[in-house]
Amino acid sequence: MTLYHFGNCVALIYVPYYLTYKHSGLSEYGAFWKCIQAGVIYMFTQLVKMLILATFFPDVSDLGSDLIGEFLKSTVDLADLFYLGSGKGHSKVLNGWNWMGHGQVILSRALLLWVGARGAEFDWIYIQKCLESNILLMQHIITSTLVWLWSRHDLNKNLKMIVTILLVFTSYKSLLIDLLMSGLKVGPWLTLLFKAVMTIVYGCFTITIYAGLAQI
């Protein structure tokens, strides 16, 4: 039963990522090894960010809250957006969400499932983590689209300002949602539902801007 639960969790996390890669057009560019390289780059950048946080920012554990630490981590995550924006062309942007999505889901979920989902007792937390990974997949695609829009020279200045705000908010969205849900004392399932709704709304804004640019 534990092996069956582990297999369900692995499929729930990684199959959507594989299907997105397969049908996004990246496979036509022969970008498989580029995605492997992107995953290695992601791991390296995470190590660099950890070193930056440990070196330049003080330990805030004595404040009784890790709020400042989480805020600093979200701020350092802006470096991901600069990397995505450094490339040109839609294939570079598509490879960017692979860099962010696949690398993050491997680092943050693989060990968790291997150690936890194979345990003797069933726990809903692993299903929640799997569903959260699918929400993160949607967010990575949205973020990559926003970066592509931001890099367009024919984008209206007013729209570019909106895209910039959305990109900056992307780094802090998870932190703000967690703070809101913690303050309201909402359970994990409602928190997951709220994250999904917020991501869908976020995507609707992005699609609207993208559609407006396509009509120009």
**Number of domains comprising the chain:** 1
Q: Name which residue leads in pLDDT, 114 or 170.
A: 170
The span from the CA of 166 to the CA of 14, in Å, is 27
Give residue 39's domain range: 2-214
* Alpha-helical segments (H) within 77-123: 78-85, 90-112
pLDDT-derived band at 193 (thresholds 50, 70, 90) equals very high
In tens, the pLDDT along 60-79 reads 554 444 677 677 777 777 76
Q: State residue 133 phi and psi, 5-degree precision.
A: -65, -35
Q: Quote the pTM value.
A: 0.78
d(Cα 149, Cα 129) in Å, to the nearest integer? 30
What pLDDT does residue 192 have? Answer: 92
141-162 pLDDT tens trace? 888 888 888 888 778 888 888 8
